[in-house]
Structure 1
Amino acid sequence: MAPHDMTPGPEDTVHEILIVGGGTAGCVLANRLSADPKLKVLVIEAGEDTPPGRVQPPILDSFAGLAYLNSRFLWNDLKASTDVGGSAPSAPPARLRKYEQARVLGGGSAINGQLANRGAPHDYDEWQALGASGWSWDTVLPYFRKLERDVDFDGPLHGQDGPIPISRIGEDLWPRHARAMARAFAQAGFDAVDDQNGDFVDGYFPVAISNLYDRRVSTAIGYLGYRVRARPNLTLKTDTHVTRLLIQGRRCIGVMAQGPDGIERRHLAQEVILASGALHSPAHLLRAGIGPAEDLRRLGIEVVADRPGVGRRLMDHPSVAVASFIAPEARINGVTRRHLMLGLRFSSGMGDAPQGDMAASIASKSAWHDVGSQLATVNIWVNKTYSESGSVSLRDADWRSEPRVDFDLMSDRRDLDRMKAAYRRLAAIVLSDEMQGVVSDTFPASYSDKVRQVAALTLRNKVLTGLLARLLDGPAPLRRLLFRALIVEGDPIDVLMADDAALERFIRRAAVGVWHASCSCRMGAEDDPLAVTAPDGRVYGVDGLRVVDASIFPMIPSGNTNLPTIMVAERISDLILAARRA
Structure 2
Amino acid sequence: MVNGLIDWRFPTTPQSSLLNRTIHYVRGRCLGGSSARNYMVYNRGVYPYYRKSPHYTPANTHLRATNTSVGTVNESPSFARSGGPLQVSYPNFAQPWASFYPSAFEEIGIPSLSQGVNAGVLDGYASITLTQDPIDKFRSSSDASFLQKALASTDLVVYTHTMSKRILFDANKTAIGVSVEVNGVQFQINATREVILSAGAFLSPQMLMASGVGQREILDHHNIPVVADRPGVGQNMWVALAYESNVETPSVLQNDPTRISQENEEFLTHKSGLLTSNGGSDIVGFLKLSNQSVTNLSSETVNDFQANFPQDWPEIQVLSYAIGPNDGINQYAGSAIGLLATFSRGNVTINSADMSDAPIINPAYLTDKRDQELGVAAFRFARRLAATESLQRAIIGDEVVPGPGVATDAEILRSLQQSITPFYHASCTCKMGKRNDSMAVVDSEARAIGVSGLRVVDVSAFALLPPGQPQATVYMLAEKIADMILGHA
Q: Same fold (TM over 0.5)?
A: yes
> Is 1:167 equivalent to 2:89 in the alignment?
yes
CA contact (8 A) 1:144 1:567 kept: no
* Equivalent position SS for 1:266: strand
* Equivalent position SS for 2:370: helix
Deviation track 1:421-466 (CA, whole Å, cap 9, x = no partner) reads: 1110112322444333523365575xxxxxxxxxxxxxxxxxxxxx
Q: Distance in 2 between matches of 1:439 and 1:145?
A: 46
Q: Distance in 1 between matches of 2:180 and 2:329?
A: 41
For structure 1, the 5+ residue unaligned runs are: 1-67, 86-90, 446-491
Q: Distance in 2 between matches of 1:346 and 1:289?
A: 43
Q: Distance in 1 between matches of 2:117 and 2:206?
A: 35
Pick from 304, 317, 341: which aligns with 1:384?
A: 341
User: Structure 2 matches for 1:336-355, cutoff 5 A?
Assistant: 336-337=274-275, 338=277, 339=279, 340-348=281-289, 349=291, 350-351=302-303, 352=306, 353=309, 354-355=311-312
> Is 1:74 equivalent to 2:38 in the alignment?
no
Q: Distance in 2 between matches of 1:117 and 1:398?
A: 36
> Is 1:114 equivalent to 2:40 in the alignment?
yes
CA contact (8 A) 1:176 1:329 kept: no
> Is 1:178 equivalent to 2:98 in the alignment?
yes
* CA separation of 1:401 and 1:377: change in aligned 2, threshold 3 A: farther
**TM-score, length-scaled by structure 1:** 0.71
Q: CA deviation at 1:114?
A: 0.5
Q: Which residue number corresponds to residue 127 of structure 2?
A: 206
Deviation track 1:34-71 (CA, whole Å, cap 9, x = no partner) reads: xxxxxxxxxxxxxxxxxxxxxxxxxxxxxxxxxx9654
CA contact (8 A) 2:44 2:119 kept: no
Q: Which residue number corresponds to residue 384 of structure 2?
A: 428
> Is 1:219 equivalent to 2:142 in the alignment?
yes
Q: Distance in 2 between matches of 1:237 and 1:116?
A: 28
Pick from 162, 177, 187: which aligns with 2:107?
A: 187
Q: CA deviation at 1:562?
A: 1.0
Q: Distance in 1 between matches of 2:62 and 2:343?
A: 26
CA contact (8 A) 1:365 1:373 kept: no
> Is 1:294 equivalent to 2:217 in the alignment?
yes
Q: CA deviation at 1:101?
A: 0.3
Letter of the structure 2 residue corresponding to residue 193 of structure 1: L
User: Structure 2 matches for 1:127-166, cutoff 5 A?
Assistant: 127=53, 132-133=54-55, 135-136=56-57, 139-140=58-59, 142=61, 146-153=65-72, 154-166=76-88
User: Structure 2 matches for 1:36-55, cutoff 5 A?
Assistant: none
CA contact (8 A) 1:290 1:306 kept: yes
Q: CA deviation at 1:573?
A: 0.4
Q: Distance in 2 between matches of 1:328 and 1:403?
A: 43
Letter of the structure 1 residue corresponding to residue 315 of structure 2: D
* CA separation of 1:390 and 1:329: change in aligned 2, threshold 3 A: closer
* CA separation of 1:396 and 1:71: change in aligned 2, threshold 3 A: closer
Q: CA deviation at 1:145?
A: 7.5
Deviation track 1:186-240 (CA, whole Å, cap 9, x = no partner) reads: 2222222241112514222110111123321111111133x63244631111111
User: Structure 2 matches for 1:468-483, cutoff 5 A?
Assistant: none
Letter of the structure 2 residue corresponding to residue 148 of structure 1: N
- Root-mean-square deviation (CA), in Å? 2.7
CA contact (8 A) 1:314 1:517 kept: yes
Q: CA deviation at 1:146?
A: 2.5
Pick from 377, 395, 404: which aligns with 1:494?
A: 404
Deviation track 1:445-496 (CA, whole Å, cap 9, x = no partner) reads: 5xxxxxxxxxxxxxxxxxxxxxxxxxxxxxxxxxxxxxxxxxxxxxx43233
Pick from 319, 322, 330: which aligns with 2:242?
A: 319
* CA separation of 1:288 and 1:329: change in aligned 2, threshold 3 A: closer
**TM-score, length-scaled by structure 2:** 0.84
Letter of the structure 2 residue corresponding to residue 74 of structure 1: D
Q: Distance in 2 between matches of 1:141 and 1:557?
A: 19
> Is 1:242 equivalent to 2:164 in the alignment?
yes
* Equivalent position SS for 1:494: coil
Q: How many equivalent pairs are there?
A: 446
CA contact (8 A) 1:152 1:168 kept: no
Q: CA deviation at 1:157?
A: 2.5
* CA separation of 1:435 and 1:232: change in aligned 2, threshold 3 A: closer
Q: CA deviation at 1:141?
A: 7.2
Q: Which residue number corresponds to residue 476 of structure 2?
A: 567
Deviation track 1:493-523 (CA, whole Å, cap 9, x = no partner) reads: 3233x31111122223322210001000011
Q: Distance in 1 between matches of 2:285 and 2:154?
A: 46
Q: Distance in 1 between matches of 2:144 and 2:329?
A: 28
Q: Distance in 2 between matches of 1:231 and 1:331?
A: 42
CA contact (8 A) 2:32 2:144 kept: yes
CA contact (8 A) 1:380 1:422 kept: yes
> Is 1:417 equivalent to 2:338 in the alignment?
no
* CA separation of 1:312 and 1:252: change in aligned 2, threshold 3 A: same
Q: Distance in 1 between matches of 2:170 and 2:467?
A: 40
> Is 1:531 equivalent to 2:421 in the alignment?
no
Deviation track 1:500-555 (CA, whole Å, cap 9, x = no partner) reads: 11112222332221000100001110000100011111111111111000001001
Q: Which residue number corresponds to residue 206 of structure 2?
A: 283
CA contact (8 A) 1:330 1:438 kept: no
Pick from 539, 551, 558: which aligns with 2:467?
A: 558
Letter of the structure 2 residue corresponding to residue 402 of structure 1: A
* CA separation of 1:518 and 1:125: change in aligned 2, threshold 3 A: same
Please state which structure has a larger fraction of its residues in helix. Answer: 1
Letter of the structure 2 residue corresponding to residue 494 of structure 1: P
* CA separation of 1:220 and 1:528: change in aligned 2, threshold 3 A: same
Q: Which residue number corresponds to residue 451 of structure 1?
A: none
Which piece of structure 1 moves more, 235-244 or 358-367?
358-367
* CA separation of 1:299 and 1:525: change in aligned 2, threshold 3 A: same
* Equivalent position SS for 1:166: coil
Q: CA deviation at 1:405?
A: 0.4
* Equivalent position SS for 2:52: helix
Q: Which residue number corresponds to residue 197 of structure 1?
A: 118
Q: Distance in 1 between matches of 2:211 and 2:189?
A: 16
